Homo-oligomer: A and B are copies of this chain.
Amino acid sequence: MQNNNSALDAADTAQRHKETNLRRLLNPASIAVVGASADPSKAGSQALRSLNGFPGRVVAVHPRESVIQGRHCYPTFADILEPVDLAILAIPAQHCIQAARDAAASGVGGIFIISGGFGESGAAGARLQEELADICRASGMRLLGPNTSGFINPQKQCVASFVPGVDQLPKGRIAVIAQSGGVNLSIAFQIQRLREGISLAVGLGNAVDVEAADVLSMLASDPNTTAIALHLEGVPQGRKLFEVLSTVTRLKPVVALVAGRSDIGEFAVSHTGNLMGSYQRTASALTQAGAVVVDSTEELAQAASILAHRRLPPKARNGFALVTGQAGPGLLIIDGLKTAGLDVPELASATIEKVQSLLPPMTFVKNPVDTGRPGPGFTQVLSAVAADDRIDAVFVYALHEPAVLDPSAAISPAVNREKKPVIFGTLGTQEDLQPVLEQLVRAGIPAVLGPERLVLAGKVLDADSRGQWRLKKSSFTSPIAGDTATLANTLNEDQAKAFIASYGIRTPQRKFCIGKNEAIEAFKALTKPVVVKIAADDVPHKTEVGGVFLGIQDLQSLSSALAAIERIPTKTPGQFLVEEMAPLGVELIVGAVNDSSWGPCVVIGLGGVLAEAVSDSSVRLAPISELDAADMLEGLRGKKLLDGFRNLPVCDRSAIADVAVKIGQILIDHPEIAEIEINPLRVNAEGAVALDALVVLKNQQETTS
């Protein structure tokens, strides 16, 4: 017991040591550069030059030189007497191992390796990379990279990068964590163009030691950071990222961009050595953890800059209003918001009356409010709209017309009184707009250029608010009771159904029969009509071999069905499943899979070949709550089919949700299961019944694949 405690204490201390070293790496007081050079085209030369503005101590490590770029050189780490927080290694891969060992031995907090030639380049590089990981594990020293352009910490005036211009990135409240150094800088430069600043911008590269979850964790308590922009290229330890992200998004907004919608695996491996994994699983997991997933670096920068200003509180659905001086752009904005599925509620009648009293007759005022060319009443109109209880955030669009509208003067009263986000969209010539935008920054009013950026603002504010709401509301009931004994052997259909039934999932009345006589007895005992299926251990796809006979009403049909099944070749002949027919309904597929990175994932899809062909399914990490499951159903493109479409019955959505929750629980209780699938789950207004069930164990998967 005591031993155990001290082991735990040791692990805890090691973890705290690693966290401290990560802070030293990314907020250094002293830096050493290895591989500094006088040749300006060399990364090492630029890396040293980039530190010119750094107020802390900078030294170089060089075997022969004594001074480079005016910095004192030491022959080895051991010769540096003062502690070094960060060592930048601008040397070829093969020399990095010894340098890392030396740094660790000298108590360096963390190193950052610029060069490639590691895991992304083949087996020899992967071995070098493994050696680096070993050094970090043993010493607690942290490693950023290898194979990255580094990081910028404008708060500490620390530019640990070899790319010029990054020292001009302004200090601000957005943190960037990118898999790729190049993407890190691409995002940071775009944030600058949006008149926002950076609190920290990190390119992880091969992420041998420091990975996204570590930096996220650190930033959760960083007072300088109010929003985080995250870029991922494949996530080796998904479950860890999910857990960290779920905590961080409760505290501050995270926007995420994930590469890998299409098949880019070969090039991706050549880049960081990461496998891309499933885009759908990654994007779904990040959303489930409360992040806002976007489609481009442009959207990432814009979304982070909107959320860095202010996020909406947790809410299931937010109401958005638009006040616009030009109807045409207004139409594009409303069209975009509605196409994205956002609420643009009609204003309350009191608001409409108030607004009507302020504007000329015949103006459209229900929402949007189309003021026409802004007049003196614009400020009051805006305040009235912002005061409406149905409205959580207000967008304003007006072209630059200083003679009729001063945006910050017009918007500030509404913001100050109603405490709701008001975001201004505009356009004009670059020269004309510059002072207006600067004034808006000073007034604390976020501004975007062009109508569609307001649509993006709506999507992002709403997604972040809904994400927080889901995290708050998702409650997990006490573990569902079920058969938790470890499964060792393949389950046939009857056994698989009994297994899921133990978790409370409905299955049809049925009888597993050996020999025709048992089948005839079963037929007599069950409610007609029945379905008769082959029950062979070696025939997983029963329909495709003609082993399923539906609607058996009489003994004659039963007997021909049994005869037909007996003709199908199998190692276990003469086994039948006789089962009552389920009532008609809509068919879904509910399953779960144990992903190597994300762990147990629940999948809900509509049944049928078209749903399969268009990949109409929703994924969440298990455990899922009823709320998550309901959200998954909302995510199906063909969700109309659940609500009485054409001649189909209205489906009991909570029954589907209940099955999905239980399927998730099964995978958590049974790590030996690789995959489980109910296909089809037959659903109508009375509930959901599993018509077939398949359980694949990990050991099975390994032997068959």
In whole Å, how far is A240's beta carbon from the nearest beta carbon of chain B?
Answer: 22
Q: Are B46 and A403 in contact (CB under 8 A)?
A: yes
Which of B182, B270, B401, B614 meets A326, CB within 8 Å? B182
C-alpha spacing A403/B298, complex, angstroms: 26
C-alpha spacing A231/B329, complex, angstroms: 11
Binary contact readout A173-190 vs B (1 if CB under 8 angstroms, 0 otherwise): 000001111111110011
In whole Å, how far is A104's beta carbon from the nearest beta carbon of chain B?
Answer: 27
Chain B CB within 8 A of A646 CB: yes
User: Provided the pairs A183-B328, A432-B168, A450-B190 are in contact, do residues A264 and B334 lie with their beta carbons within 8 angstroms?
Assistant: yes
Which of B164, B193, B298, B614 meets A638, CB within 8 Å? B614
User: Provided the pairs A41-B403, A164-B432, A193-B430 are in contact, do residues A641 and B610 lie with their beta carbons within 8 angstroms?
Assistant: yes
Chain B CB within 8 A of A428 CB: yes
Chain B CB within 8 A of A404 CB: yes
C-alpha spacing A453/B190, complex, angstroms: 13
Chain B CB within 8 A of A330 CB: yes
Q: What residues on B are CB-neighbors of A181 within 8 Å?
A: 326, 328
C-alpha spacing A613/B610, complex, angstroms: 11
Chain B CB within 8 A of A310 CB: no
C-alpha spacing A373/B193, complex, angstroms: 24
Chain B CB within 8 A of A611 CB: yes
In whole Å, how far is A457's beta carbon from the nearest beta carbon of chain B?
Answer: 13
Q: Are A399 and B182 in contact (CB under 8 A)?
A: yes
Q: What residues on B are CB-neighbors of A184 within 8 Å?
A: 328
C-alpha spacing A428/B149, complex, angstroms: 14
Q: Are A370 and B271 in contact (CB under 8 A)?
A: yes
User: Provided the pairs A180-B326, A403-B164, A427-B189 are in contact, do residues A645 and B609 lie with their beta carbons within 8 angstroms?
Assistant: yes
**B-contacting residues, A290-314, CB 8 Å:** 295-298
Number of interface residues of A (CB under 8 A): 104
Q: What residues on B are CB-neighbors of A335 within 8 Å?
A: 259-262, 264
Chain B CB within 8 A of A102 CB: no
User: Provided the pairs A192-B429, A326-B182, A544-B647 are in contact, do residues A399 and B163 lie with their beta carbons within 8 angstroms?
Assistant: yes
Which of B331, B640, B647 meets A268, CB within 8 Å? B331
User: Provided the pairs A262-B339, A335-B262, A401-B163 are in contact, do residues A182 and B610 lie with their beta carbons within 8 angstroms?
Assistant: no
In whole Å, how far is A237's beta carbon from the nearest beta carbon of chain B?
Answer: 20
Chain B CB within 8 A of A458 CB: no
Q: What residues on B are CB-neighbors of A164 within 8 Å?
A: 400-403, 432
Q: What residues on B are CB-neighbors of A54 within 8 Å?
A: none
User: Provided the pairs A164-B432, A267-B370, A427-B186 are in contact, do residues A180 and B331 lie with their beta carbons within 8 angstroms?
Assistant: yes
Q: Which of A115-123, A438-446, A685-693 contacts B (4 or more CB under 8 A)?
A: A115-123
Residue of B nearest to A611 (CB): B610
Q: What residues on B are CB-neighbors of A645 within 8 Å?
A: 609, 612-613
Residue of B nearest to A180 (CB): B328
Chain B CB within 8 A of A40 CB: yes
C-alpha spacing A164/B398, complex, angstroms: 13
Residue of B nearest to A121 (CB): B362
C-alpha spacing A36/B89, complex, angstroms: 70
Q: What residues on B are CB-neighbors of A178 within 8 Å?
A: 328
Q: What residues on B are CB-neighbors of A606 within 8 Å?
A: 610
Q: Are B267 and A368 in contact (CB under 8 A)?
A: yes
C-alpha spacing A137/B612, complex, angstroms: 56
Top 10 nearest A-B pairs by Cβ distance? Answer: A180-B328, A182-B326, A262-B338, A183-B328, A296-B452, A270-B364, A613-B640, A189-B427, A271-B327, A182-B328
A-to-B contact residues, CB < 8 Å: 40-41, 43, 46, 116-117, 121-122, 125, 149, 163-165, 168-169, 178-186, 189-190, 192-193, 203, 231, 233, 257, 259-264, 266-268, 270-272, 295-298, 325-332, 334-336, 338-339, 362, 364, 366, 368, 370, 372-373, 399-404, 427-432, 449-453, 544, 606, 608-614, 616, 637-641, 645-648
Known: A264-B335, A272-B327, A609-B641. 14 other contacts (CB 8 A): A164-B402, A165-B400, A180-B326, A182-B327, A189-B429, A192-B430, A267-B368, A271-B370, A296-B336, A296-B452, A609-B646, A612-B646, A614-B614, A614-B637
